[in-house]
Amino acid sequence: MNIHEYQARELFEKFGVATSKGHVASTPEEAEKAAAAIGGSNLVVKAQIHAGGRGKGTFTNGFQGGVKLVHTPTEARDIASKMLGHALVTKQTGPEGRVVNKVFIAEAVDISRELYIAILVDRATSAPMIIASTEGGMDIETVAEHTPEKIFHVSVDPLLGLQPFQTRKIAANLGLRGPLMTQASKLFTALYRTFIESDCSMVEINPLVVTPDGRLLALDAKFNFDDNALYRQPAIVAMRDKEEEDPREVAASEFNLNYIGLDGNIACLVNGAGLAMATMDIVQFAGGKPANFLDVGGGATKDQVCAAFKIILSDKNVEGILVNIFGGIMDCNVIANGIVEAAREVGLKLPLVVRLEGNNVEAGKKTLSESGLTIISASTLADAAQKIVAAVKAA
């Protein structure tokens, strides 16, 4: 789950991570008031969408740039009116763009140094890891590739938590000395608390800046949350903006299906995440292009299969469907009946290849062949992939 920039700022304020002054606004009038409240003559108005590349984006009304410098509250209101309610197209949004419902007004701070800090769960050590770098403001992967010596790591004992000496060590490595070291220790401690208490899988501040007047501030942040922990994070769940998500993925999650849209033409419906990935791979190996990842889980009930078909068919690129079920515990005939009913209910017209294996598979295959539907039966995974690729080419 992702959140907006203004929500990340709210989390920082809650936990005491120092940031520049800012307020969110939903109307031009609110934007004007926010600018007046912040004060000063250097402010920035930022369109709030999840996608990156906002600064270089273009609004569908022709207005250029989703991040703008302004000098007065009136100017903030004018700029906000050009952003709010309009779609912003960036390199990450696709041509339709994303409608901007909120703007964030912040003080534009002068910067003397840009740094980087992130916390994530390191899989190799199974412990929280802090990653810091003197090269802020740029992509950390680029820094890792070109100047890896400018990145350093501190592993945190999960039972002890981040220790004060560790925060000083990071500060020293970032060249934050004197009064800045005290600010840094406080900021890193607050950031670690944010990370743990919000069940983040990653939090990244880029850039973390030092201002000419000696302040250390988190200017931009990115959060990823652990989906498994959302049940105990109602405040984080409340930040979810479904309009920023793929509607098919939102629909799938309501039926406990795991769906991820891709850009191919062969839809896959599979039980089990590993097998679902492997099915996509074998479709590609057979010369096709997978349209999606879809794991229906261990059960695969008729209702789930039905919902899955509807979601798959809402993707206009889909030209054929491959169902691959390994019915370990479940009776394949029950699954076959579910597929037949679902195909009838949605009035399926596209080629459908079904590969069933496992418990009571012969009865399942019989159900499929006697259904009167044009279902192509396959015996192995490879056979299934070849058959759906051929069927889509022939159609």
Closest to another protein by CB, 180 vs 312, is 312
Closest to another protein by CB, 87 vs 151, is 151
Least distance to another protein, CB of residue 270, Å: 8
Least distance to another protein, CB of residue 265, Å: 13
| CB atoms closer than 10 angstroms to residue 225 | 21
Among 36, 67, 87, 121, binds another protein (CB under 8 A): 121
Among 85, 89, 101, which Cα is nearest to 57's? Answer: 89
Q: Is 204 marked active-site?
A: yes
Type of residue found at 291? A
Quick one: which H or E segment has residue 182? helix 179-197
Binders of another protein among residues 354 to 393 (CB under 8 A) are 357-359, 380-383, 385
Among 62, 95, 126, 347, binds another protein (CB under 8 A): 126
Q: Does 301 bind another protein (CB under 8 A)?
A: no
Binders of another protein among residues 43 to 82 (CB under 8 A) are none
CB under 8 Å to 190, separation ≥6 — which residues? 12, 15, 16, 17
- CA 260 from centre of chain: 11
Q: Does 277 bind another protein (CB under 8 A)?
A: yes
Type of residue found at 289? K
Closest to another protein by CB, 35 vs 283, is 283
3-class DSSP state for residue 382? helix
Type of residue found at 391? A
76-96 core/surface letters (b: 16 or more CB in 10 A; e: else): bbbbbbbbbebbbbbeebeee
Q: Is 116 marked active-site?
A: yes
Sole residue written with tokens 């598979």: 361
Give the Cα separation of 31 and 45 in Å (integer).
8
Among 253, 258, 301, 371, binds another protein (CB under 8 A): 258
Quick one: which H or E segment has residue 117? strand 113-122
Give the Cα separation of 175 and 352 in Å (integer).
62
Q: Does 152 bind another protein (CB under 8 A)?
A: no
Q: Does 157 bind another protein (CB under 8 A)?
A: yes
Q: Does 144 bind another protein (CB under 8 A)?
A: yes
Least distance to another protein, CB of residue 139, Å: 9
Give the Cα separation of 340 and 327 in Å (integer).
16
Judge residue 129's burial from the number of C-beta atoms within 10 Å of its C-beta, 0-12 exposed, 13-18 middle, 19 or more buried. Answer: middle
Among 95, 159, 316, 372, binds another protein (CB under 8 A): 159
Binding string, residues 172-211; x marks residues near another protein by CB under 8 A? ------------------------x--x-x----------
Among 22, 290, 320, 351, binds another protein (CB under 8 A): 290
State the catalytic residue, choosing from 204, 244, 259, 319.
204
Among 124, 213, 254, 347, binds another protein (CB under 8 A): 124
State the catalytic residue, choosing from 6, 30, 32, 116.
116
Q: Does 254 bind another protein (CB under 8 A)?
A: no
Looking only at the bridges linking them, the beta strands covering 320-327 and 352-358 are parallel
Closest to another protein by CB, 104 vs 195, is 195
Among 182, 313, 326, 373, binds another protein (CB under 8 A): 326
Q: What are the distances in angstroms from CA 133 to CA 126, 150, 182? A: 22, 6, 18
3-class DSSP state for residue 17? coil
Q: Rg (Cα) of the chain, in Å, rounded? A: 26
Instruction: Tell me the CA end-to-end span of the chain in Å, nearest whole number.
Output: 38
Closest to another protein by CB, 74 vs 142, is 142
Binding site for another protein (CB under 8 A): 121, 123-124, 126-128, 140-141, 144, 157-159, 196, 199, 201, 226-229, 231-232, 258, 260, 262, 270-285, 290, 293, 295, 298, 326, 328-329, 357-359, 380-383, 385
